[in-house]
Amino acid sequence: MGWRPHFFKVFFASRSSKRLKIPTAFSKHIKYRIRGGVCLKDRTGKRWRVEVVKEGTSVFFQGGWERFVANSGLKTGDFLVFGLDRSPDLTVLVFDQSTCDKDEAFRRTSCGTVKEEPSDDEPPLKTDDDDVSSRMRLGFRSPLRRVATEEEKAQALELALSFCSDNPFGIAVMTECNVYCSFYMVVPSTLVEHLPRATSKMRLLDPTGKSWNVMYVYGKSGGGFSAGWGFFADAHNLEKDDVVVFELVGKLEVKVHIYRVVEETPLLCLELSSS
């Protein structure tokens, strides 16, 4: 069958409910469908007709997208993988924040509508702190510490660069997209070459040894942690410019070493909400 182009998106209800922007690198594969449309096909074979529209240099799924969102029960934090199938079909896989297939998208009646069931507002990927879950459902978090000095940033990086191990590892400096919004963590290339060449479920081990489920996404340009990473970053109070070392300690296990530019600040959301 050969290789077929794919792209992924993390769903945010506030900005993706009415339409979804298609990555520029992928849109070239469906440019012949602009002003027309494509069919989105789920794993059960059900199809949704969705318009493809262009605004300036950007391309979107638009007409019909709202119906797909509603029928699939999409919520903020859900993870979608789109793949180019036979024209004009795109396959779409839906995962929830547990990194597993999203059940709601496939619990259908014979007419293709989602069965009414009690909603569960808590995300499937549980954490020890309810405040972590509530913040992540909003799709973003705010900095909880003062601005770091250049000297502090340099010191944290220097400590991380002194890390040694016989295991494969990679070093990354946290950006806003890693820890405040989007919550996608590009895995350093020095580690990617030792990871599966396919999208896989993995586990992160924090400094205490606790295990966290994440989805590792592999593509032509590299790999990264997506679903589940935001919960890890929030629960461990990661901030912009903190430095993280990812050490491969098992086939699908990565130990995370954290070097903070400013001493850790306790999470304050519960105190603030109760005051």
Please determine, for residue 246, whether its predicted confidence score (pLDDT) is greater than 90.
Answer: yes
Please determine, for residue 2, whether its predicted confidence score (pLDDT) is greater than 70.
Answer: no
Residue 49 identity (one-letter amino acid): R
Superfamily of domain 6-106: DNA-binding pseudobarrel domain (2.40.330.10)
**8 A C-beta contact, residue 267 and residue 237:** yes
Please determine, for residue 58, whether its predicted confidence score (pLDDT) is greater than 90.
Answer: no
Instruction: Specify the range with the lowest mean pLDDT, choosing from 28-32, 119-123, 127-131, 177-181.
Output: 119-123
Query: Rounded distance, CA 226 to CA 230, Å?
Result: 8
Query: Rounded distance, CA 53 to CA 60, Å?
Result: 5
Give the tokens for residue 72. Answer: 């699939």
Please determine, for residue 137, whether its predicted confidence score (pLDDT) is greater than 50.
Answer: no
- pLDDT band, very low/low/confident/very high, at 248 (cuts 50, 70, 90): very high
Please determine, for residue 91, whether its predicted confidence score (pLDDT) is greater than 80.
Answer: yes
Per-residue pLDDT at 103: 56
Instruction: Record the pTM.
Output: 0.50
Average confidence (pLDDT) over 134-158: 71
Query: Rounded distance, CA 9 to CA 182, Å?
Result: 10
**Residue 87 vs residues 39, 61, 227: alpha-carbon distances, Å:** 9, 16, 29
Residues of the chain with CATH 2.40.330.10: 6-106, 130-269
Query: Rounded distance, CA 155 to CA 259, Å?
Result: 9
Highest-pLDDT range among 7-16, 129-138, 252-261: 252-261
Instruction: Give the 3-state secondary structure of 83-135.
Output: EECCCCEEEEEEECCCCCECHHHHCECCCCCECCCCCCCCCCCCCCCHHHHHH
Query: Rounded distance, CA 199 to CA 214, Å?
Result: 11
Please determine, for residue 272, whether its predicted confidence score (pLDDT) is greater than 80.
Answer: no
Partners of residue 59 on adjacent β-strands: 22, 54
Please determine, for residue 80, whether its predicted confidence score (pLDDT) is greater than 70.
Answer: yes
Query: Rounded distance, CA 91 to CA 39, Å?
Result: 8
> Domain 130-269 classified CATH 3.20.20.70?
no
Per-residue pLDDT at 259: 94
Residues with Cβ within 8 Å of 268's Cβ and at least 6 positions away in sequence, in order, are 144
